[in-house]
Amino acid sequence: MAKEHISNFLNNFSIEVTPNAAKKIDKFSDYLNPGTLIYVAHIEGTTIEETVETAKKISDQGFIPMPHFPARIIKDKEVLGDWIARYQNEAGVENALLIAGGANKPYGDFDSSIQLIKSELFDKAGFKNLHIAGHPEGSKEIDPDGSTTNVDEALSWKNKFSKSTDASMAITTQFCFDSNSVIEWANNIKKSGIDIPVHIGIAGPAKLQTLLRYSIECGVGASIKILQKRAKDITKLLLPYKPTQIISELAEYKASNPDFNIEKVHFFPLGGVKQVSKFVQEH
């Protein structure tokens, strides 16, 4: 039964690519099922031309693109409107992940995903799916004092917005390694009245050094301790990390608690799309 639970939990997973990574993939169908939701990462320094081109490649090959819209690198409402129009007209995009983004300070008028939502441009454009960020371990960038006050307030505001928009909404989280932290967070937001489904972020198979570097860069807190503990075990140090444990534990919890609000898995392919594909096929 455990295998069946894991298989069900991994069903219809989504994945993320950067434009550079996408260029190295000739056919996404070599690794992913047609219709898979593929997020297009838009990190600082990437041009809109590159991300639109990537979204078009994804769409043309029979997959569903969901580009990131990082608020802090979007200058103003006019630029946001231009991005939306280009994605729609050139790549048939109907989905967006709305995030603050990693820039230290805003380029222009936008500083948060809430401000992007308040522009009303996504609703006017008829976007079908709007996803927002989730932080199971909090965010020191948003709550420097170590609390979750600002994160909780923002999530509550977005939950209210989800009742008024025609778009379907979901929370796509930062990647985690500790199932207990994830379960506690997911249950707590549900108790607080947040009924937006969760797509849990999972780091795909990768070298331990790669995971530690990304974890530090992305501010993944408690979960780093799990990686550091693994790094001290010389028998595991040279072995690639696989998310078997967290996937298994969350899958079992979901099977025992059908109303658990984690709906899907979203992979961050830190070791490459091919490695995620291989891991999913194994399970």
Number of domains in the chain: 1
Query: What is the CB-side half-sphere exposure of residue 57 using CA atoms within 13 A?
Result: 22
Half-sphere exposure for 56 (CA within 13 Å, toward CB): 12
d(CA 94, CA 127): 5
Contact 198, 171 (CB under 8 A): yes
Of 43, 46, 137, 26, the C-alpha closest to 97 is: 43
User: Is 15 strand, coil or helix?
Assistant: strand
Amino acid 213: pLDDT? 65
Please say whether the beta carbons of 5 and 283 come within 8 A: no
CA pair distance 151, 50, nearest whole angstrom: 31
DSSP secondary structure letters along 48-96: HHHHHHHHHHHHHTT-EEEEEEEGGG--SHHHHHHHHHHHHHHH---EE
Full residue range of the structural domain in which residue 43 is found: 2-282
d(CA 36, CA 130): 16
Distances (CA, A) of 58 to 126, 168, 252: 20, 21, 32
* CATH number, domain with residue 17: 3.20.20.220
Contacts of 200 (CB under 8 A, 6+ apart): 136, 173, 176, 182, 186, 250, 262, 264, 265, 266
The amino acid at residue 247 is I
pLDDT for the residue numbered 144: 64
**Helix ranges restricted to H, the chain:** 2-10, 19-23, 48-60, 77-91, 113-118, 121-124, 149-162, 179-191, 208-218, 222-232, 234-237, 244-256, 273-282
Q: Tell me what pLDDT residue 98 has.
A: 98
Q: For residue 14, what pLDDT is reported?
A: 98
Look at residue 147 and give its three-state secondary structure: coil
> Digits of tens for pLDDT over the chain (283 positions)?
689 999 999 999 999 999 999 999 999 999 999 999 999 999 989 999 999 999 999 999 999 999 999 999 999 999 999 999 999 999 999 999 999 987 788 899 999 999 999 999 999 999 999 999 998 876 667 756 666 778 889 999 999 999 999 999 999 998 888 899 999 999 999 999 999 999 999 999 988 776 766 555 555 555 555 555 555 554 455 567 899 999 999 999 999 999 999 999 999 998 999 999 999 999 9
